[in-house]
A and B are shown apart, each in its own frame.
Chain A
Amino acid sequence: MKKFLTDPLTSIAESVMELADSFGLLAIFYAKHSTETSYLWQSGAFIRRQTKNQHEILLHLIFPDGRMGQAFTSDCSQQGVELAFHQARHAADLKSGHLDLIHYLDISEKKVPHAQISLEAPDYDPNQLARHIEKHHYELLPQFQPDLLDTSFHFFQENAYSLRSDGTQYKTNLCKASCRHEIFSFEQFTSFPFQQDWVLSPHYAFDSDLEQLGHQMRRWKTMRGRSLPPKHETFPAIDKIPLLFDAAIVAGLMNAWLDSHDHPSIRCSAATLRFEPGAVADSLPHHPYGYLLPPATLLSPGDRNSELLEALREYPPFFGHYDCQLPFHQDQVHSPCAIFAALTSKGLYQQDRLRVCEGISQLYTEEKTNRFHLLPASMYETDLDSCKPVAPVWITGDALPLFSCLLAGFGPKQTIWPLSEKTRSFSLPAYLFYHPFERSHAS
């Protein structure tokens, strides 16, 4: 299965290199093939299984005068790739940013000790994994009746192959899996999704993660009766109010931050963000420019790695794990009251109550303005003695200064995948203290 796509492509890639030589150009050939197998169960009945196969080729041509051309195609035939080659040649212009990026990737790759380059993931049988999910679905079903339970399981296998004019070639293989349970509540007439994702490696903990997911769903069911319905108004002056966010919200906001524009305006950060793919996957990410991408610091107080940020946003997307370190972190403290006490004793918070936001009910980001609009699933007000539910309200803010506002973390670190996001995961403490007042201090 792993060799299903890459073998016929190696000869096409070599022909692209020869063609580039004949024009006096440097070429980078990158091909990605992905297979997805999906399964669906609804209310105790198996509904369907389906496979999906997709492939794409990306070509980069570098001219001696510094011009660069780029072309995509899904036509993997010799003819199709040659057509893409000439499109890239004709579309070439002076994209200095892209050349800087290639230079950065080249330097980064040289820092990786060869012994650390592990490219092949073991083979996994999606049917075998699906049987665990099916069992989980049947176990959960009676616990949530009369609400409806839909469960889907997606297994992804991604093979990438690249060849560069300098002769360097890579074949990488990554397996990912995703389980999503959706509870449809007749009371609220809406669905509540719960999701667990994995990059498969010999160390992943499938059953214990599923157990954890079931625990999270049961907790939601217990809390549902206690939390208040959302109040349809916007939180006043959110840019000036400190909040305690849970990891799910911050992962969603970090995802929005990574996709946002105008990063050069970000000059300060209280937190440190590291690109750490090796923390969850055994292999290094295979960048679509034909390089392997080693771990590196993306953002730290006083510094930001613009080249890496650009590299991480290139299309087609590739998997990356991010680890967030906060200026202050207490992993033993994870109840809102204890967090309130810790924040007060450290002098990070002086008011008599703190708002706590948990889970995402709705999150939209405005592409043009980088503003986010968040409706948390639950909100609470905490002080030293109690944590009382309050009606969730809409929170609107600017996604760009996120890292200068995250000042403290509480509870053990966990791996969070933003909902419906298959290419990024984040390592975050259970709760994070967000304080927009401190932005100016951090800068």
Chain B
Amino acid sequence: MNYEEALLQLLQTAIRTKLPIGIKSYQYCLDEKVMISSAGTQTKEAFADITLYWEDSSLSRHRIALPFPPDTPLPIHVWQRVRYFDPHSASLDSQTSGHSSIACDQSILALLEKPFSARFSGPLKTTAYIHTRKLASSHGEQKQEIVTEALLQDTSPYANTVYHKRRLPNEQELTYLHEEQLWMRTVGSHVSGPLGQRQEKAFLLFSPDALRAILHSGFAALLTDKRKREHMLPFIRFCADHSRLSVSHDPYRPWSIGTRSLWPDGSLPKKQVLIAPALTELTELPRYYEAASLHVNHPNIGQFHQWLSQQEHVDYVPHVQVQPSFSPYSQEMGWVSCATRFIQGRPTVQGNLTFTFSLAALVASPHLTLIAKVGWDGYGLAIPYRDLVYTP
């Protein structure tokens, strides 16, 4: 019996149980994640988010890990005690989902059919995932989404070569990644403390993940909360007047990790522009918004190696820690556990790095350049250190 059949059986038993207040209907979202690793392992994790609708018009919400222990009913007597009234709850509608062709790589699905030894090759550690999301209700509505994910990374300490998308890399990309892996390993040294002094005209290069972390905490996360949203309007208008950068929440970007076709409540994600030249309206982000769906655009776009070779000094930030939320105008501190310093286009030293920035100064920088690189999910962003904060 598969997980869904077992879950249905549990729910059918629950709905038939005699209780002082019975269960009228149910809805569930079953998320299964199969992980296949080049280390020779294959695991499966699953959980179900269940909403029970009770006869007194209340509802209760529950998450259970699957498979559920054998011969064990759902603890509905306990669940009955945590039901509540939610006037805003929406039940599953009959909209259909789509676009799995840009988020589901058939070659990852095919890995399941291959013997372990024939699944992966090459020196990078590869992990592939298959996420299956199934939504259904006791009224018979059903929706399904299958998305895949491929993560390739160098296993050596302090390595920077990473590929993370919804599809496996093609041959050309793979050849590039192997070459980059060797090149990144030529880094001269690693210091346990901070990177030393930087040059006057040094640049900071944020990976797409690091850039998303800053955009998320500095404004996007605040757009999900109606109590905070209005306070972002001056910043949106500031960007419209002072920046050529646009930021969108786009769950439809082909092969991006943030691409999804179905939220857990059954609603369909939609593309929303958050910041753009001349955009002066606030956008409301949904509860299921994910930072991975943030994408940027700008007229200045450079290619990683070409741009890097033209710079004297670049500090590369693969990941950054910032406060969970901050004002776009405040001076903030970013902390990087392992930054790589490139001098004249060559990796020279790695160490930790702290830098001060304000999001408003960052987006308004006249020297801002977006950077494209094989393996990145979206653009990185390059900016001179001196533009990170306003200097009166």
- Name B's interface SS: mixed
**How many residue pairs bridge A and B at CB < 8 Å?**
123
Interface residue B81 (Cβ < 8 Å from any Cβ of A): yes
Which of A104-112, A196-204, A250-258, A364-372 sits within the interface?
Answer: A364-372
* Interface residue ranges of A2-21 to B (CB < 8 Å): 4-5, 8-9, 12
Contact present for B67 and A75 (CB under 8 Å) = yes
- The distance in angstroms between the C-alpha atoms of A123 and B65, with both chains bound, is 23
Known contacts A4-B72, A74-B45; decide if A364 and B335 are in contact (CB<8 Å).
Answer: yes
Which of A186-194, A381-389, A430-438 sits within the interface?
Answer: A186-194
Known contacts A74-B65, A78-B70, A230-B333; decide if A184 and B228 are in contact (CB<8 Å).
Answer: yes
- When each residue 196-230 of chain B gets 1 if its CB lies under 8 Å from chain A and 0 otherwise, what string results? 00000000000000000000000000100001100
Known contacts A5-B72, A76-B69, A234-B354; decide if A49 and B61 are in contact (CB<8 Å).
Answer: yes
Contact present for B323 and A43 (CB under 8 Å) = no
Known contacts A49-B84, A51-B82; decide if A189 and B326 are in contact (CB<8 Å).
Answer: yes
Closest B residue to A375 using CB positions? B333
Interface residue B153 (Cβ < 8 Å from any Cβ of A): no
Most buried by A among B79, B231, B333, B354: B333
Closest A residue to B51 using CB positions? A50
Closest B residue to A189 using CB positions? B327
Interface residue B305 (Cβ < 8 Å from any Cβ of A): no
Contacts of B332 in A (CB 8 A): 232
Interface residue B75 (Cβ < 8 Å from any Cβ of A): yes
- The distance in angstroms between the C-alpha atoms of A371 and B190, with both chains bound, is 14
Question: Interface residue count for B (Cβ, 8 Å)?
Answer: 46
Closest A residue to B85 using CB positions? A46
Contact present for A5 and B69 (CB under 8 Å) = yes
Contact present for A80 and B67 (CB under 8 Å) = yes
Closest A residue to B71 using CB positions? A8
Most buried by A among B72, B75, B227, B330: B72
Known contacts A1-B75, A190-B324; decide if A50 and B354 are in contact (CB<8 Å).
Answer: no
Contacts of B158 in A (CB 8 A): 368
- When each residue 279-314 of chain A gets 1 if its CB lies under 8 Å from chain B and 0 otherwise, what string results? 000000000000000000000000000000000000
Contact present for A8 and B192 (CB under 8 Å) = no
Contacts of A33 in B (CB 8 A): 69
Contacts of A4 in B (CB 8 A): 72, 75
Contact present for B335 and A362 (CB under 8 Å) = yes
- When each residue 64-104 of chain A gets 1 if its CB lies under 8 Å from chain B and 0 otherwise, what string results? 00000000001111101000000000000000000000000
Contacts of A74 in B (CB 8 A): 45, 65, 67
Known contacts A189-B330, A396-B193; decide if A8 and B63 are in contact (CB<8 Å).
Answer: no
Closest B residue to A186 using CB positions? B231
Q: Which of B78, B79, B228, B354 contacts A148 (CB 8 A)?
A: B228
- The distance in angstroms between the C-alpha atoms of A52 and B79, with both chains bound, is 10
- The distance in angstroms between the C-alpha atoms of A54 and B65, with both chains bound, is 5
Contacts of B65 in A (CB 8 A): 53-55, 74
Contacts of A9 in B (CB 8 A): 69
Interface residue B321 (Cβ < 8 Å from any Cβ of A): yes
* Interface residue ranges of A23-58 to B (CB < 8 Å): 33, 35, 37, 42-43, 46, 48-55
Report A392 CB to chain B, min CB distance, Å.
10
Interface residue B325 (Cβ < 8 Å from any Cβ of A): yes
Interface residue B8 (Cβ < 8 Å from any Cβ of A): no
* Interface residue ranges of A384-439 to B (CB < 8 Å): 394, 396
Interface residue A330 (Cβ < 8 Å from any Cβ of B): no
Contact present for A190 and B70 (CB under 8 Å) = no
Closest A residue to B192 using CB positions? A369
Contacts of B175 in A (CB 8 A): none
Contacts of A274 in B (CB 8 A): none
Report B23 CB to chain A, min CB distance, Å.
15
Contact present for B62 and A52 (CB under 8 Å) = yes
- The distance in angstroms between the C-alpha atoms of A9 and B333, with both chains bound, is 50
Contacts of B62 in A (CB 8 A): 50-53
Interface residue B169 (Cβ < 8 Å from any Cβ of A): no
Most buried by B among A4, A43, A127: A4
Q: List 20 contacting pairs A-B, 8 Å CB cutoff, sorted by A.
A: A1-B78, A4-B75, A8-B71, A35-B78, A37-B82, A49-B83, A50-B62, A50-B82, A76-B70, A77-B69, A77-B70, A125-B81, A126-B82, A184-B227, A184-B228, A186-B231, A191-B324, A362-B333, A375-B333, A394-B335
User: Assuming A48-B86, A53-B63, what are 13 further A-B pairs, CB within 8 angstroms?
Assistant: A4-B72, A33-B69, A49-B82, A51-B61, A51-B78, A52-B62, A76-B68, A78-B70, A189-B326, A189-B327, A230-B333, A232-B331, A371-B192
Chain B residues packing against A (C-beta within 8 Å): 45, 60-65, 67-72, 75, 78-79, 81-84, 86, 157-158, 192-194, 222, 227-228, 231, 321, 323-327, 330-333, 335, 337-338, 352, 354, 356
